[in-house]
Amino acid sequence: MTQDSLIIAGKTYSSRLLVGSGKYVDLAQTKAATEASGADIITVAIRRVNIGQDPNAPSLLDVVPQSRYTILPNTAGCYNADDAIYTLQLGRELLGGQNLVKLEVLGDEKTLFPNMPETLKAAEILVKDGFEVMVYCSDDPIQAKMLEDMGCVAIMPLASLIGSGMGILNPWNLSLIIEQTQVPVIVDAGVGTASDAAIAMELGCDGVLMNSAIAHARDPVLMAQAMKWGVQAGRAAHLAGRMNKKFAGIASSPLTGLVV
Amino acid sequence: MTQDSLIIAGKTYSSRLLVGSGKYVDLAQTKAATEASGADIITVAIRRVNIGQDPNAPSLLDVVPQSRYTILPNTAGCYNADDAIYTLQLGRELLGGQNLVKLEVLGDEKTLFPNMPETLKAAEILVKDGFEVMVYCSDDPIQAKMLEDMGCVAIMPLASLIGSGMGILNPWNLSLIIEQTQVPVIVDAGVGTASDAAIAMELGCDGVLMNSAIAHARDPVLMAQAMKWGVQAGRAAHLAGRMNKKFAGIASSPLTGLVV
Amino acid sequence: MTQDSLIIAGKTYSSRLLVGSGKYVDLAQTKAATEASGADIITVAIRRVNIGQDPNAPSLLDVVPQSRYTILPNTAGCYNADDAIYTLQLGRELLGGQNLVKLEVLGDEKTLFPNMPETLKAAEILVKDGFEVMVYCSDDPIQAKMLEDMGCVAIMPLASLIGSGMGILNPWNLSLIIEQTQVPVIVDAGVGTASDAAIAMELGCDGVLMNSAIAHARDPVLMAQAMKWGVQAGRAAHLAGRMNKKFAGIASSPLTGLVV
Amino acid sequence: MTQDSLIIAGKTYSSRLLVGSGKYVDLAQTKAATEASGADIITVAIRRVNIGQDPNAPSLLDVVPQSRYTILPNTAGCYNADDAIYTLQLGRELLGGQNLVKLEVLGDEKTLFPNMPETLKAAEILVKDGFEVMVYCSDDPIQAKMLEDMGCVAIMPLASLIGSGMGILNPWNLSLIIEQTQVPVIVDAGVGTASDAAIAMELGCDGVLMNSAIAHARDPVLMAQAMKWGVQAGRAAHLAGRMNKKFAGIASSPLTGLVV
């Protein structure tokens, strides 16, 4: 398992768990939960979290330093391509020219389901502008392929609605995406507990991104640890090749040859 | 998490994963997978596996020594109370008077579903005879309670048929048992992959016992590691208290107060 | 489909939907819903419903007459074999010596899960006493077989807890019972809506018994009609032989030979 | 229930089951199954089925006459907007100027999943050209809303892949669409058996369209009847308002006031 690393846009990461940085009660909790998660990549909602936009306020980077983590700017709160593109340009600037970003263009405030036409539009422009685009999307395999063909560096389908904790509602669509995709597939949104993360990895996902499931647990730091193990468990089970399911309940050893 | 130990019949175990010792290709694999699992308690089918019955054959205890593991004799292959009782008496003798045993009385060879009337009968006699009985049973909460009331030291409901790898077919019945039971509840049979183990622990089980899921994986040693993580993940998630599921997909942060 | 009848203890019934008579707001609703259901067999909780025990109170038989329906006395509210046996002896007497009865011995008031040891005990005594016993039971295939072997005339496993409306929680166990049983298998308890009834029938059940799902619907009479259709739909689908599920999504017709 | 009709583009239909006309072994079976289904609307793949394109071959309209059925031309086999538009123009011409059509633009031959960008493009052009567009789509609520806002007269999300018979894989997305949509929502694709149809209707769909589930059953005519009942059952259950699910298994009647 030592060489089983996640590679995104040519860079290697040791953890397959990516975490958000919002929704915590304070920066101390952010720091503790982030460390417990073992994550290398931390997403930051540029429109909501201070990483230098306000030089007089505490910065997330004080507790999640760039020296240790890859900070991944995201476009949470953007409902059209233009806002998303502008937000990521700002993020790139704040992070010293970093091209790796996470694009999400939302459809409405109620569901936070992706707006796929605007996502496709923004992705195309961003890729041409040199961004390495990790992209939040629906679990539609056809549009996921379009995003990959455009040059996105990671396909990030939802498992269920952002913040819902409902788990993987349609593993079949996810499987179609995993099967066809050459770049990493990272489940983004919907994971609610450790077994959800394990299931995503067992299906063959390359990683899982979450925020609410950790931040909204009763004990976020312990849940971060649980998620770390959940992702490791699912990844190892995927690589180990699970036993076949068999309904008939056949006795596992023949009755001939009993010792007693 | 350091003090989160499993206590059965007054004895403390650090791992909540219990593993079988059958179905491996050879003793070397048994040893490697058992070690990778991190398990403290190893079950042994007294009617099938040599732990001294045949002094001239290799013994399981050579690779799974009693100095390191708790060897738990079980009655796999027994279809009535008498056979089960006789088998456990033999197991006790082979293990130097150890009272801790696992009782399973099976209903038929096709399903290996427990025969509950014979299980109840055997459990009563064994408890009176001084055994500490961990008991394989159906997920019937009423009969599980009867077994607990008799003095069984662990209630071990099936998740699905032995050797089926179907996972937890009825989490509701399992929940009823967990809610009412004062001694450890350990899912026994049916786990197929790491997420199944995690789910069992998230539901509130105290442990999981498995054999086929490890031994019949493509890479049993790696799967044993996956299962170790799966149990840890599920236990930590249970203790951490998962977020509530909420379908409506409410935006996690208010749109007021955006930084950008 | 015309000859597709349900035969219990040698008697033929045209409907595969059996309904309870409790939980309605009044006898007028009982009458209307019962008629809409198309049921032939109506169960009556002898301990709760008046069918002559109190000659001065309105009788269920006024609206659900024996001339049109088979009245099936049941032992709802009984928690041991003795009470159940006594109750059914009373029922037989009230119904002019009718031997067809439904036995249910409950485990506790909270879950209403069957008490299987007491059920087995009562069934054995009742069968010997000449009763034709339709028996409510868990979905344990081994104990279901014991009940059949004793001479019960219908095996009636729960789909989920009485009054829960949770649907069929473990279709696998139900399938095992259906496969092995020579007398009718009738799902009893847990159906919540029409698709639940259809699923039970598609699995191969011979009938479905329900009460709460009809009586506790917003419009019981309309739900009774829905259940009638649901049972018919599921039965017809079972007989028609459903298409195989195939995940790969193969195009249904070859692209060669397009008309346009 | 008498006035519970399906209204599409201002026209009223008595049946909520819509059926395809392909995949049958011959026209006699087409006729018998179509009649048994009770459907009013029959879809026809203009690129595959002869309804006059070839005046010398047998026409579907001989067994499914326009005097009795609404023939709904569809674009099965089209993978881009242009082909779909051309095909529906041909269909309109063949059907004497009928504007009601079903649009489906597929993403690839393996999955037959919709190509949503091309679907949106085609729908916009067709609506402007005076067509009344019923549109096959993914279960993405945001894009479903775009199609409704364009003026499509029915939204037809897949339950699962065309021809898969997998049932409703994501009832949650379907619910979001149902909740927000003012025109009829008709599940199109994926239904495999009668209970699937019932579930779709219970969720609040206005209708169900299927083809393989009937044509590929062992007995298509009987399955057509089953589907008719399944849709009726689900619709009635939806209108009747099902009981709430309650896990705790509370006894339905108080134990006080027992008659016996």
Query: What class does CATH assign to C6-240?
Result: alpha beta
- Half-sphere exposure (Cβ direction) of C57: Cα atoms closer than 13 Å: 11
Angle (nearest 5°) at CA B69 between B67 and B72: 120
| C1 has a pLDDT exceeding 70 | no
Q: Which of C80, C108, C116, C177 to mutate to test the interface with B (most CBs of B within 10 A)?
A: C116
Q: Which helix (H) or strand (E) holds A224?
A: helix A220-240
Separation of alpha carbons B152 and B134, rounded Å: 6
A254: how many CB neighbours lie within 10 A of its CB?
Answer: 8
Using the beta-carbon criterion (under 8 Å), do D140 and A116 form an inter-chain contact?
A: yes
Starting at the edge strand that comes first in sequence, how are the strands of the sheet with A132-137 ordered?
A154-157, A132-137, A100-103, A70-74, A41-45, A17-20, A207-210, A186-188
Which is more confident, A140 or C245? A140
What is the pLDDT at residue D53?
84
| Confidence category of residue C258, pLDDT binned at 50, 70, 90 | very low
| C260 has a pLDDT exceeding 60 | no
**C201: closest CA among A249, D244, A246, D230?**
D230
Residue C142 contacts B, CB cutoff 8 Å: yes
| Confidence category of residue C46, pLDDT binned at 50, 70, 90 | confident
- Residue of C11, C23, C31, C102 with catalytic role: C102
Residue with tokens 């209707």: D201
The single-letter DSSP state of residue A244 is P
Tokens of C111: 């879950």
Q: What is the mean pLDDT of chain A?
A: 92
Could you report how far apart the first and last alpha carbons of chain C are, in Å?
Answer: 40
Of the candidates D112, D247, D259, the beta carbon closest to that of C249 is on D112
Separation of alpha carbons D46 and D90, rounded Å: 8
The nearest CA of chain C is from the CA of D147 a distance in Å of 24
The nearest CA of chain A is from the CA of B120 a distance in Å of 22
pLDDT in tens, chain D (260 residues): 556 899 999 999 999 999 999 899 999 999 999 999 999 999 999 888 888 888 888 888 889 999 999 999 999 999 999 999 999 999 999 899 999 999 999 999 999 999 999 999 999 999 999 999 999 999 999 999 999 999 999 999 999 999 899 999 999 999 999 999 999 999 999 999 999 999 999 999 999 999 999 999 999 999 999 999 999 999 999 999 999 988 764 434 434 444 44
Q: Which of C160, C166, C169, C195 to mutate to test the interface with D (most CBs of D within 10 A)?
A: C195
**D191: closest CA among D17, D55, D6, D8?**
D17
Q: What is the mean pLDDT of chain C?
A: 92
Residue B250 contacts C, CB cutoff 8 Å: no
Of the candidates B220, B230, B259, the beta carbon closest to that of A50 is on B259
pLDDT digits (tens, 9 = 90+) for B55-81: 888 888 889 999 999 999 999 999 999
What is the pLDDT at residue D243?
93
Using the beta-carbon criterion (under 8 Å), do D258 and C47 form an inter-chain contact?
A: yes
What is the pLDDT at residue D248?
61
Separation of alpha carbons A160 and D69, rounded Å: 40
pLDDT digits (tens, 9 = 90+) for C159-215: 999 989 999 999 999 999 999 999 999 999 999 999 999 999 999 999 999 999 999
What is the pLDDT at residue D55?
87
Identify all chain C residues contacting B165, using CB atoms and an 8 Å cutoff.
Answer: none
pLDDT digits (tens, 9 = 90+) for A208-250: 999 999 999 999 999 999 999 999 999 999 999 999 988 764 3
Specify the pTM: 0.93
Strands D132-137 and C70-74: unpaired
| Contact by Cβ (8 Å): D249, C164 | yes
| Contact by Cβ (8 Å): B112, B138 | no
| B252 has a pLDDT exceeding 50 | no
B57 burial via Cβ count (<10 Å: 0-12, 13-18, 19+): exposed
D19 burial via Cβ count (<10 Å: 0-12, 13-18, 19+): buried
Interface of D with C in 190-249 (CB under 8 A): 192-195, 197-199, 202, 211-213, 216-220, 222-223, 225-230, 232-237, 239-249
> Do the annotations mark residue A163 as ligand-binding?
yes
Buried b (16+ CB within 10 A) or exposed e, C109-132: ebbbbbbbbbbbbbbbebbeeebb
| A257 has a pLDDT exceeding 80 | no
Q: How far is CA A77 from CA A90, A104, A105, A139, C199, in A?
A: 14, 8, 8, 20, 43
Can D11 be counted among the known catalytic residues? no
| C252 has a pLDDT exceeding 50 | no
- What DSSP string describes A11-77? EEES-SEEEE--S-SSHHHHHHHHHHHT-SEEEEETTTS-SSSSTTS--GGGTS-TTTSEEEEE-TT
What is the pLDDT at residue D48?
84
Q: How far is CA B119 from CA B134, C35, D70, D215, in A?
A: 11, 45, 63, 49
Q: How far is CA C85 from CA C111, C121, C127, C132, in A?
A: 21, 10, 11, 13
Q: Which residues contact C108 (CB under 8 A, 6 or more apart)?
A: B142, C79
Annotation: binding site of D for 1-deoxy-D-xylulose 5-phosphate:
163, 189-190, 211-212
Tokens of C242: 């459903």
Interface of A with B in 62-101 (CB under 8 A): 76-77, 87, 90
What is the pLDDT at residue A254?
39
Q: What's the complex ipTM? A: 0.92
Using the beta-carbon criterion (under 8 Å), do C194 and D233 form an inter-chain contact?
A: yes
Identify all chain B residues contacting C120, using CB atoms and an 8 Å cutoff.
Answer: 117
Tokens of D251: 């006894």
B50: amino acid identity, one letter:
N
Q: How far is CA C24 from CA C28, C43, C211, D259, in A?
A: 9, 13, 9, 16
What is the pLDDT at residue C2?
52
| Contact by Cβ (8 Å): C130, C108 | no
Residue D46 contacts C, CB cutoff 8 Å: yes
Angle (nearest 5°) at CA B142 between B138 and B144: 50
| A79 has a pLDDT exceeding 60 | yes
What is the pLDDT at residue A15?
97
Q: Which of A4, A164, A193, A203 to mutate to test the interface with B (most CBs of B within 10 A)?
A: A193
Domain locations along chain B: 6-240
Identify all chain D residues contacting A142, using CB atoms and an 8 Å cutoff.
Answer: 107-108, 111, 113-116
The nearest CA of chain A is from the CA of D170 a distance in Å of 6
